[in-house]
Amino acid sequence: MQSKYWRGRLHREDGERRMTQHSTEMLGVDATKVGFPSRAAAAFVHDVKTGVAAYFETSRRSSKANWCMWLKTLLLFGVVVGSYAAIMSNRFTPLAMLGLAVVLGIGIAGVGFSVAHDALHGAYSDRPAVNYLLGLSFDLLGANSYIWKITHNVIHHTYTNIDGVDEDIDMGPFLRLSAGTPLRRRYRYQHIYGFFAYGLAMLFWVFVKDYKYFLKRDLGPFRNRHNPPREVAVLVVTKLLQLGWTIVLPLLVLRIHWWQFLIGYLAMTLTAGAILGLIFQLAHVVEGTDYPLPDAEGSMEHTWLVH
C-alpha cells in the first residue's frame, strides 16, 4: 500500500512538473494570440443561447433586475451605511465598534459581489446610466470599476483559468492555485497562511492593484493601452473619497486611540478581503476544475462557450 501511495504521488508530481514546464513556456505567448475555434460545437452554442432566450420568453421574466434583486441591493447598502453610521455615532464601546467593523466588512464584500459586480455586467437595467451609477459603488469601496471591467469582464471571462492570462488565478507570490504556476518551496505551507493571504485582498486592491494596472501598458489582450483622462479622474477622486470615509473621517470623529482605530480598520478590511478571496477561489479552485492551455500556436481546444 505504501509503495502504491508513493508511486501515485510521484506520478502526480511528475504531471505537475510537466504542466508547469508547459505553462512556463506559454507565459511568453502574447495573450492576443490566444484564440478559440469559432465553428466547433456550434450546435451546443446554439442550444445554450436558444434555451436561455426561451426561458425568459416562456416565463415572461426580464433578464434584468427584478424586485428581489433591488430589495437585496437596498439591504446590502443598508448593512454598509448602517454599520458605518453606528460606528461613527460614538455611542458604542470600542469592543462593540470592533464587532460593527466586522459587519461593515461583510457588507462591503456583499455590495462588491452582489451589487457592483452585477451592475458592471449590465445586469440591473437596460439603461446603461443605471448600471454605471450602481457600479460606482465599487469605486467608493476601494476598487476601480474601469480596471475591473478590463481584468474581469473581458480578460477573466474570456480566458478563464488560462495560466498567465486570467488575473483571477494569479495570486503570486503568495499562493499557487494551479499546476501551471511554477513550484516554489513556500507553497508547501500555503494551507497554513492561505486564509490570511486571502484577507489581504482588499488592502492590496485599495493601495496597490488599481495603480499597478493603470500603469500597465500591456494588460491581457490589450497592447500599448492608454487610460482615458476621465477614468484617471474617476480613479483619483474615488480613491480620495474612499480613504476619506474609511480613514480620515474616523480618525477625526471617533473618540478612540489611533491603535484602536487601526485594529478596527484591519478587522473591516481583513473580513472583506477574506470573503472576496474565498469566493474568488471557490469559482476556480475546486475538484474537477481544469486549467487548459493553448497549443504552441496559441489555439485553444474548445470554443469559448465550451471552455
Predicted local confidence at residue 31, as pLDDT: 67
pLDDT band at 30 (very low <50, low <70, confident <90, very high): low
How far, in Å, CA of 172 to CA of 176, rounded? 7
Region 140-157: what's the mean pLDDT? 92
pTM of the model: 0.83
Domain assignment present for residue 151? The answer is: yes
How far, in Å, CA of 271 to CA of 200, rounded? 9
Q: Which of these ranges, 17-31, 97-111, 136-150, 258-272, has the smallest mean pLDDT?
A: 17-31
Domain assignment present for residue 194? The answer is: yes
| Number of domains the chain contains | 1
Helix residue ranges, H only, 216-257:
229-243, 249-253
Domain assignment present for residue 50? The answer is: no
Domain assignment present for residue 155? The answer is: yes
Residue 14 reports pLDDT greater than 80: no
3-class DSSP assignment, residue 165:
coil
Domain assignment present for residue 3? The answer is: no
For residue 84, the surrounding DSSP H or E stretch is helix 67-88
How far, in Å, CA of 236 to CA of 241, rounded? 9
Show the domain range for 167. 69-282
Domain assignment present for residue 12? The answer is: no
Domain assignment present for residue 97? The answer is: yes
Q: Give the mean pLDDT of the chain.
A: 86
Amino acid at 91: R
Domain assignment present for residue 41? The answer is: no
b (16+ CB within 10 A) / e for 237-249: ebbeebeeebeee
User: Residues 38-65: pLDDT tens digits?
Assistant: 777 788 888 999 999 999 999 999 999 9
pLDDT band at 32 (very low <50, low <70, confident <90, very high): low
